[in-house]
């Protein structure tokens, strides 16, 4: 009986280690790079007269900042998409309240200002985002990889 238990424990131990790898391995990775890189463009607008400020110069500076932020928002929308939310209240088969919300969230790195100028009462900023530059920034930070070769010892 003791001999049977000893043999069954040994057999169980061998079976549990049979699925494990006996060999150590070394995995080499290579960087995955896309074939083409698009260049995204976005334009932001801000009305000069609607900006807060005591002088025309202050309002222009605020419009410059606002138009740049609007252009970045448009780039983020192109890269990440826009999240939409909606609420509708109906009472007695009549719509009481209909609300639609849009939200854009993301981080844009590597964009450059192409032009920034006033047209009439509106300040305009044009941005450009070269996805090759974004890829280069991403590679230096994240280092995505694919398996190139596996060597077993």
* Mean pLDDT of all residues in 60-64: 95
* pLDDT per position as a tens digit, 122-151: 999 999 999 999 888 887 777 666 777 777
Q: Which residues contact 49 (CB under 8 A, 6 or more apart)?
A: 59, 121
- pTM score > 0.85 for this model? no
Task: Looking at mean pLDDT, say which of 11-15, 31-35, 45-49 comes out highest.
Answer: 45-49
Percent of the chain surpassing pLDDT 70: 82
Which one-letter DSSP state was computed for residue 149?
Answer: E
**Helix extents (H) in 19-152:** 56-80, 131-142
Provide the residue ranges of all domains of the chain, joining segments of one domain with +. Answer: 24-152
Q: What residues are paired with 25 via a beta bridge? A: 152
Judge whether residue 108 has pLDDT over 60: yes
Please state the length of the chain.
Answer: 153
Strands 94-103 and 112-119: unpaired
Judged against a pLDDT cut of 90, whether residue 11 lies above it is answered with no
């Amino acid at each position: 009986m003791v001999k049977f238990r000893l043999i069954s424990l040994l057999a169980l131990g061998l079976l549990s280690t049979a699925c494990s790898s006996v060999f150590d391995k070394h995995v080499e990775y290579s960087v995955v790079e896309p074939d083409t890189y698009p260049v995204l463009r976005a334009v932001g607008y801000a009305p000069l007269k609607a900006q807060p400020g005591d002088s025309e110069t202050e309002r222009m500076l605020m419009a410059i900042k606002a138009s740049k932020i609007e252009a970045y928002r448009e780039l983020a929308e192109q890269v990440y998409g826009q999240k939409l939310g909606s609420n509708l209240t109906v009472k007695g088969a009549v719509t009481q309240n209909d609300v639609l919300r849009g939200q854009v969230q993301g981080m844009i790195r590597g964009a450059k200002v192409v032009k920034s100028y006033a047209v009439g009462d509106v300040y305009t900023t044009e941005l450009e985002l070269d996805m090759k530059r974004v890829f280069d920034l991403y590679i230096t930070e994240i280092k995505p990889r694919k398996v190139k070769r596996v060597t077993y010892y």
